[in-house]
Amino acid sequence: MSGLVQFLRCESFSLSPSKLKKRRKNSTTSHRSAQQVVDELVREPHATPHVPNPQRPQIILGNPYQLLANAQARSAGATDTVGRKMRKDAHIIAGCIVSYPKDVNTVIGNTEEMRVLYQWIDKTAEWAQKEFGKENVDTVVLHTDETMPHLHIMLIPPAPGVNPSPIRRKQREVGRANKNAPNRKVLENNAYNAEAVRLQDSLFAGVSHEFGHARISDVPGPRLGQKDKGKLKKKLKEVDDVKEAYREMQKQVSDKEKMLTQTLTAEKASLEKEREALELREVNLSREALKFQKLVLTPVVALVESMVRRVLEELPNHLPEQTAKTVASALRRIKAEVQREFTPDLHLGKADVKIEHTEGDAPSPAKQLNMELKSA
């Protein structure tokens, strides 16, 4: 069987919306009235907030604008089992939704898909008239403005005072037959479920099987009872709590990362300032050394060189040749040692290569010192 699965759901409605008690204490909700259902059926703007782009339905059978009048006429003069007038919240119409299990965007505009869709519509309307009684199927409309194309099969009571929903009728019949039974509610629920299953089987045999639609999903899974649903809700809440805790943890991690980033940025800026201060100090010391060389060392070295030159010039006149050469060699060695000893090493490290300036900017201290050394 394909992955296309049939869908059928039936509900009944009264002229006046009935109050339904929720399982939670002191909480109530309103069941929709018949008029609200009809308004949604014909796509009145106020009744379709769940539909992004409502479109008028295509009427397959009957007249949805006459539905309520027909239902009221069929229910006229209805009384309960003891002859009292029916309550104003007695159900007078029922609606069964049957979906065509394909995405509407793959169907609308596709000639072949539209042909199969209308075959399915004709077959489903035929099945409904046979299943519920031709005289009880008042209106059938097609909606194509939601996820899947689907039919609304609208039923009116088969007789005054009779619930229009076949599932509810079967439930009431069993309830009346077991009025005094201690397990009456259980029997009613069993009857409701059995009739719902029978309708699903009937739709599959009469329509879905012919079009390759599955009776149930191919994906196995047990149906959940109330206790299982309670456990599931509890587990889902635990999952939500874990997700919330994870989000909070992520927020804390993000805040700490932001704080660490700010701290590291501040420390980096502080270290950068210290580095610049040390480089400036090194440049200043080198500049002082350059001044010392110009003012003191250079004249001393020049004086020594002059004295050695004069001595070398006079040596040949006063000493034998070989002795003069020996003394000259010693004096040159002394001169070289003086130059090496008294000429400062003005090595600037990285300051003279890392701190640069662009054209138009003031040169850095290291750059200025390099310029001074070249001109010295």
Say yes or no: 42 and 101 in one domain.
yes
**Residues 205 and 245 placed together within one structural domain of the fold:** no
Say if residue 92 is in the same domain as residue 33.
yes
Residues 159 and 32 in one domain: yes
Same domain, 15 and 64: yes
Which of 221, 250, 271 is the last residue in one of the domains? 221
Q: Name residue, tokens 């029978």.
A: 198
Query: What residues contact 149, with CB distance under 8 A and at least 6 apart?
Result: 99, 100, 102, 104, 107, 108, 117, 142, 143
Mark whether 265 and 177 lie in a shared domain: no
Q: 344 lies in a domain?
A: yes
Q: Do 53 and 197 fall into the same domain?
A: yes
pLDDT at 217: 63
Residue 274 phi, psi (nearest 5): -60, -40
Beta strand spans in 239-292 (E): none
pLDDT at position 307, please? 77
Predicted local confidence at residue 355, as pLDDT: 40
Instruction: Please give the helix or strand (H or E) that residue 92 lies within, else none.
Output: strand 91-99
Instruction: Provide the domain count of the chain.
Output: 2
If asked whether residues 180 and 246 sit together in one domain, one would say no
CB atoms within 10 A of CB 275: 13
pLDDT tens-digit map of 2-52:
568 999 999 999 888 766 544 444 444 457 889 999 999 999 999 999 899
Two structure tokens written together for 60: 């397959």
| Rounded-to-integer distance, Cα 73 and Cα 80, Å | 17
User: Are residue 214 and residue 269 in the same domain, yes or no?
Assistant: no
User: Which pLDDT belongs to residue 337?
Assistant: 73
Q: Does 299 fall in a domain?
A: yes
- pLDDT mean by block of 10 residues, the chain; 376 residues: 81 78 44 90 92 93 94 78 72 94 94 96 97 95 95 92 87 90 92 93 95 75 54 80 90 92 92 91 85 74 74 69 73 72 51 44 54 54
Determine, yes or no, domain membership for 42: yes
Based on the fold, state whether residues 194 and 134 are members of the same structural domain.
Answer: yes
Place of tokens 């097609």: 142
The CATH number covering residue 93 comes to 3.30.930
Domain membership of residue 228 (yes or no) is: no
Identify whether residues 99 and 203 lie together within a single domain. Answer: yes
Q: What is the pLDDT of residue 24?
A: 44
Q: What is the pLDDT of residue 349?
A: 43
Q: Is residue 230 part of a domain?
A: no
SS3 content of the chain, % helix, strand, coil (to 5): 60, 10, 30
User: Is 126 domain-assigned?
Assistant: yes
Q: What is the extent of the structural domain holding 335?
A: 241-375
Q: Is the pTM of this model over 0.75?
A: no
Flag whether 125 is in a domain. Answer: yes
Dihedrals phi, psi of 290, to nearest 5 degrees: -65, -45
Examine residue 108 and state whether it is found in any structural domain, yes or no. Answer: yes
Q: Are residues 164 and 217 in the same domain?
A: yes
